[in-house]
Homo-oligomer: A and B are copies of this chain.
Amino acid sequence: MITMTEIARMTGVSQPTVSRVLNGNQAVNPEIRERVLACAREHNFQPNVIARSLAGNKTMLLGIVFTDISNSFFADLEMYLEQEAKKSGYSVIVFNSGYDWNREKECLDVIRRYRVDGLIIVPVEENSERFQNEMQNLDIPAVALTRRTEAMDCVYVDHVEAGSQVGRHLQEQGCESYIFVGTENDGKYEGFVKTLRERVADLGSHFTKIETKNSEELSRILKKHFENFPGKTGIFAYNDRRAVQIHGVLQKLGIEIPKQASLVGFDNTYICDFLYPSLTSVAQSNAEMAARAVRRLLEKINNPRDMQSWNESIQARLVIRQSSADMEE
């Protein structure tokens, strides 16, 4: 690949002059400019960003660490992140931690080695001490994505509030018992339960949590549940994937949606509209989250000092469809 020095030789000027022309920096003799530009075009000159990085101390690279990009929620985010980064001339170098702290640490080391200008990370364990230490000693501007933590700047969706919205909605649909599908260690769970407690007397005996991901087991549990509770049951699954699974199990068991079971998912993926009955879900605005994360990161990059700690939550939005409410077609 052709270099500035070679162009300089071919056009009979000095290398810095070529640099000036190609970067449109300062005034140069129009004749020379043309000669240099022509030569550059002819040989499809592409500046060596590696060399530029070394000299200028900027790599124009953003490191991104996902837990698992094969999850389409993160894949979606990556698309927006790349898009937003590109607007400012940055490219992204992408890693997956596989929800494993050691791999995450490895990713961070590689990222250091590439001297990226900034880091966006979906931390595996955003509140552990070792992670927070790592972030303290990381001399790279960084923003956490989708997770809330005091240890660093972050952009996240307020899961507690989202869970709350779902609780309210299901209660308003006349549900008499409730099921949360997922783990307790989840803002959605927290908000969901909190709101239900406020609105439902004696929630304890009308609330169940299901953790299993196994279809047979799910089927067994739900079958038993609906034998015992004749009333309408509100089911909230921590993501659409799981909600779709429940959807299938309910259909198989012959339980009517939403008459007997009001079902709500999370992520508002494409599938929600395609299922029948269509799936109510909570939408997180990925485009917005990605854009804000990148913009904040660029701010930090451009103002290295004097940055307050910062975090921003983005409201989730409940998208109501047939699986949770009776709707006119």
Contacts and interface: CB of A to CB of B under 8 A. Distances in A.
Interface of A: 1, 44, 46-51, 53-54, 59, 61, 68-72, 74-76, 78-79, 82-83, 91-96, 109-110, 112-115, 137, 139, 215, 241, 244-245, 247-249, 251-252, 270-271, 273-276, 278
Contacts of A68: 79
Contacts of A51: 54
Residue from A115, A215, A249 having most chain B Cβ neighbours under 10 A? A115
A274 B94 CA distance: 30
A194 B53 CA distance: 55
A251 B249 CA distance: 15
A145 to B, nearest CB: 15
B48 A50 contact: no
Given A50-B115, A241-B271, A241-B274, 15 more contacts: A46-B109, A46-B112, A50-B50, A50-B53, A54-B54, A69-B79, A72-B72, A78-B94, A91-B95, A92-B94, A93-B94, A94-B94, A215-B274, A247-B274, A248-B274
Given A54-B50, A113-B47, A76 B70 contact: yes
Given A75-B70, A94-B94, A244 B83 contact: no
A247 B109 CA distance: 46
A74 B244 CA distance: 21
Contacts of A96: 79, 82-83
A271 B249 CA distance: 13
Contact of A82 (B44, B74, B79, B94): B94
- Cβ-closest 6 pairs across A and B: A75-B75, A248-B276, A251-B276, A72-B72, A46-B112, A245-B274
Given A96-B83, A251-B276, A276-B252, A69 B75 contact: yes
Contacts of A1: 112, 115, 139
Contacts of A72: 70, 72, 75
Contact of A93 (B93, B109, B244, B276): B93
Residue from A61, A273, A274 having most chain B Cβ neighbours under 10 A? A274
A228 B112 CA distance: 65
Contacts of A244: 271, 274-275
